[in-house]
Structure 1
Amino acid sequence: MRLVPFGSLTDENFAAWRAIRDGDSRWDSPYFTPEYVAAVHAGRPVEVLIGDGFVWPLHKSGSSAKPAGSPGADFQGPLVEPGVRLSPQRMLASVGIRSLAFDHLLDGYQDFEPWVEEKRVSPVMDVSGGLDGYTKRVDKSGRDKMSEARRLTNKASRELGPVEFTVRARDGLDHVIALKREQYASTGARDHFADPVHQDLLYRLLDSELGLLSTVYAGPHLLAAHFGIRSHGVLHWWFPVFDRKFGSYSPGWILLREMVMAAPDLGITRIDLGRGEDEYKRRAMTGSSTVCIGAVTSGLRTSARRMSRAAVAAAKASPIAPQLKAIARKFR
């Protein structure tokens, strides 16, 4: 096992990477492509852990590491040939890594199971066959929202101006990032785009084959937009935004319906909505995958992490959690 700077990978290394990925659909997400990692590496150095039948791009800092793209990568994990088994602790120790934390590790890595602390659902939409195919698979709640989105699209056209959907927009990413930052501020969530590195990554991806910026306007008004990444038949639903003053039109659902209708022309058969319990994800999903939170560490560090996560979970479950969040927001 060796750790190689991304910029030092050879054509042979990339060929092995792509062969492993193409051989198993579990890594069909764009997060597992060399192109995504290249875009990440341009803003923040990536080193790739390489062994026989094994590839894992990482950010290394001292003796600690995280999957490449963290904290923005919604799917993580090594690409491994069938039958390859390993000892994560010994593997990492061989390259000077004492701790590797993950928060979106794909479920199913048997060798990493002892270090998984929590598992979360990551909803998906099967959009093969476009809107007709999708509405046959989604439950009644999702079908009702799609019907409502159609009616509200017509209403927006009458009241605001003709509704226009652009699936491959080239302008407007500044506005998307600004709206997303407003959303973070209003909900008290951590501002992902406070770090310019994360903003720059989106611009690089937009200039690549992976990035996809889509917008919905009603007349001169931007109702909603989305920036995601895609590869083969998969679109990862990454940064959706909408203008809150048009919230009565359910602009997010209007945008999602337009994307489902456009899916066949884009060659997209699945939309990964990402980990989360948002109501729209619950309604829109036709299935789900599972991602894991945890860290490969020494025994003492593992115990400390588990105790810390238990304390956080208890605080979130506390009746005074909303008040604590409000206080914390005042000191941001």
Structure 2
Amino acid sequence: MKFSLIEAAELDAQHRAAWLALQRANPALQSPYFCPEFTLAAAAVRNDVQIAVLEEAGAIVGFFPFQRGPFGAGRPVGGGLSDYHGVVAAPETGWDVVELLRACGLAYWEFDHLVTEQAAFGDYHARWAVSPALDLSAGFSAYRERRRAAGAGRIVQLERKARKLAREVGPLKFVAHSLERDLLERIFQWKAEQCRRSGVVDFFAQDWTRALVQRIWATNDMHFAGVLSALYAGDQLVAAHMGMRSESVWHWWFPGYDRNFSQYSPGGVLLLKVAEQAALQGLQQLDLGKGDDPYKDSFADCAVPLAEGFAWRPSLGDSVRRLTAGTESLLRGSRVIEPVRPLLRMAKRWSRRQRFA
């Protein structure tokens, strides 16, 4: 197999057509994260995005987009904002991971949302998780009935709260996609406040993360688009969501709501509105993204398996990574952990920040 390294700006019409054909041919790659537009949007706001082109017998058989870090480190395109990553290729395509990393000039590639169907990376998995989703392939009504039959009362509860919100605050209005920049800024504000309350990294504190989301919001192609949705009660904005969609998947990305209306669960009401709209548009799935938020389990009726870990090639980077992982594992099982636990927490926080650097 031949590997060629190109900059995102070199991705021409032929490349993009091949990319889309490969994505459409692989059911595991239907997320908007695998669309070329996501990589191009990231490359427009960062200077470290590159793409490896995989070829066999003169034909393009795959694309591997990544971000290049210091000391031969490789990260997914979009860093901490990436909920899916991997090689864009047909299901039957195989590749050698070490050769791929060597062609990219990477000592290792770290991943935390890798689709598990990519068997080439199987030996490098360290942990597994799932991305919960709503199956809308038979329409919203069929999804709703399946959840009710399964004993999930969350949807009926939210429909009751929606009626109460309309009575006590004002008639509900759902906007599937808004062009109002102030609405997007409100989501940035809500997410920043949420991050401060929960003590996690404010991923919108970086200029490039905001710029990436703004670019996606302004994109509206048949096979990829940003989608900014809102729910109003009377003239009050009660919830909003910034997401994106491919030809078949709407990805639930950055939801937010006015905490003054939390008794009505406006975020959950909005999620149902988005799901209904996604089904009307003929989309097959509303993907909620990896995470252990309780509300995701109450809505999801399917899930996409994902893996975390890092792929390496024999190098100093490999040794450093394995030494770090081994040392932390050893300390976790030792009484020595207590004095250094604050240092480990600091290291973990630093690692999380690096995902958004």
TM-score by length of 1: 0.89
Alignment of 1:50-129 (within 5 A): 50-52=53-55, 53-62=61-70, 63-129=72-138
1:149 shift after superposition: 1.2
- Which shows bigger deviation, 60-69 or 102-111? 60-69
Partner Cα distance (1:43, 1:239) in 2: 19
Cα distance in 1 for partners of 2:151, 2:201 equals 29
Query: What is residue 251 of structure 1 aligned with on the other side?
Result: 266
Partner of 1:229: 244
What's 1:207 paired with?
218
Q: What is the CA-CA distance between 1:123 and the residue it aligns to? A: 0.3
C-alpha distance in 1, partners of 2:151/2:133? 13
> Does 2:178 align with 1:169?
yes
1:264 is matched with 279
Q: Which moved more, 1:130-139 or 1:59-68?
A: 130-139
1:306 equivalent in structure 2: 325
Matched residue, 2:58:
none
Partner of 1:184: 195
Cα deviations across residues 43-69 of structure 1 (Å, max 9, x unaligned)? 013210111112111111342211211
User: Is 2:144 the counterpart of 1:135?
Assistant: yes
CA contact (8 A) 2:5 2:103 kept: no
Contact 1:165 1:217 in 2 (8 A): yes
How many pairs does the alignment contain? 323
Q: Kindly tell me: are residues 82 and 154 of structure 1, through their superposed partners in 2, closer, same or farther at Cα, counting changes over 3 Å?
A: closer
Aligned mates of 1:306, 1:40 — CA distance in 2 = 29
Structure 2 residue ranges without an equivalent (≥5): 56-60
How far apart are the structure 2 equivalents of 1:113 and 1:219? 52
Q: Which of 19, 22, 27 is 2:21 aligned to?
A: 19
* One of 34, 37, 44 as aligned partner of 1:35: 37
Q: Which amino acid aligns with 1:229?
A: M
Identity %: 30
Q: Could you list the per-position Cα deviations for residues 230-282 of structure 1 after superposition, in whole angstroms to 9, with x for gaps in the alignment?
A: 01121000011111221110111111121222223322221011101111101
Question: Is the CA contact (8 Å cut-off) linking 2:26 and 2:89 kept in structure 1?
Answer: no
Per-residue CA deviation, residues 14-56 of structure 1 (Å, 9 max, x unaligned), is 2221221121121111111111111111101321011111211
**What is the SS of the residue equivalent to 2:39?**
helix
Give the counterpart letter for 2:190 in structure 1: L
- The one-letter amino acid of 1:13's match is H
Distance in 2 separating the partners of 1:194 and 1:313: 32
**Deviation of residue 302 (structure 1)?**
4.5
- How far did residue 305 of structure 1 move? 4.7
Contact kept, 8 Å, 1:115 with 1:296, in 2: the verdict is yes
Alpha-carbon separation, structure 2, partners of 1:117 and 1:188: 26
Q: Distance in 2 between matches of 1:54 and 1:264?
A: 30
